[in-house]
Amino acid sequence: MHELICSKKQLKEWISYEQKKYGGGYRIIDFFELSEKSILRKHQRLLRYTEYYLNTHKRMLYLYYRLRLNRIQNRYALHIPINTTGKGLKIMHVGPILINGSADIGKDLSIHINTSIVAGGKTDNAAIIGDNVIISVGAVIVGGITIANNVVVGANAVVTRDVDSQEVTIAGVPAKKICDYGSSAW
């Protein structure tokens, strides 16, 4: 399981780290949602504050931030449950993203639009994804599988089996290894 945000220091560290991925910190102009980056920065802040207040059992603040998070997630189809992703989540574009609440995702995930990480079959188990993974446009990860660190999931791939090798790119339906270059080569 990835690390959870349990202190103000961690919260500030995570937000600062993630804001840099979007090209800067929080600005007053972000309040008006004028650009895609502004929307994504705002989403990240709301997601992390909601996680922090849930994890520290501050119920009223949790409910306030949860309502704000739900509003932006429903408006832009960003269905990312709290406490499923590690530090460094980067959403590449505003658009539909669906992640199952039982997924466990490591640090520095980069995820594109029209992607799904879902349970498969009759179980509620979703994927366990390592650190530094890139999930390309339209990819679907199904079931309680494991994906190693530094893996690139190609566009429109359907991943139904474990990916044990690090530093690989997988693609296709069903997904299979297509080369030995992983996310660190990008």
Q: Is residue 31 part of a domain?
A: yes
The H or E element containing residue 169 is strand 169-171
159, 143 in Cβ contact below 8 A?
no
85 within domain boundaries? no
- Is 37 a domain residue? yes
- Same domain, residue pair 113 and 168: yes
Cα–Cα dist 131/146, whole Å? 12
In-domain check, residue 83: no
SS (H, E, C) 41-69: HHHHHHHHHHHHHHHCCCHHHHHHHHHHH
By residue range, what is the domain housing residue 68?
Answer: 8-78
Paired with 99 in beta bridges are 117
124 and 177 share one domain: yes
- pLDDT attached to residue 119: 92
CATH number of the domain where residue 120 is located: 2.160.10.10
* Number of domains the chain contains: 2
Written as one string, the DSSP assignment of 71-98 is HHHHHHTEE--TTSB-TT-EE-SSS-EE
Residue 84: inside a domain:
no
Same-domain pairing of 72 and 101: no
Q: How do the pLDDT tens digits run along the chain, 186 residues long?
A: 678 999 999 999 999 999 888 875 555 555 555 688 889 999 999 999 999 999 999 999 999 999 999 999 999 999 999 999 999 999 999 999 999 999 999 999 999 999 999 998 788 889 999 999 999 999 999 999 999 999 999 999 999 999 999 999 999 999 999 998 777 766
Residues 6+ apart with CB under 8 A from 125: 102, 119, 143, 144
Tell me, yes or no, whether 104 and 169 share the same domain.
yes
> Quick one: 119 and 180 in the same domain?
yes
d(CA 92, CA 137): 9
Whole-number pLDDT of residue 1: 63
Residues 139, 155 contacting (CB under 8 angstroms) = yes
Query: In this structure, is residue 136 part of a structural domain?
Result: yes
- Is the domain of 65 the same as that of 111? no
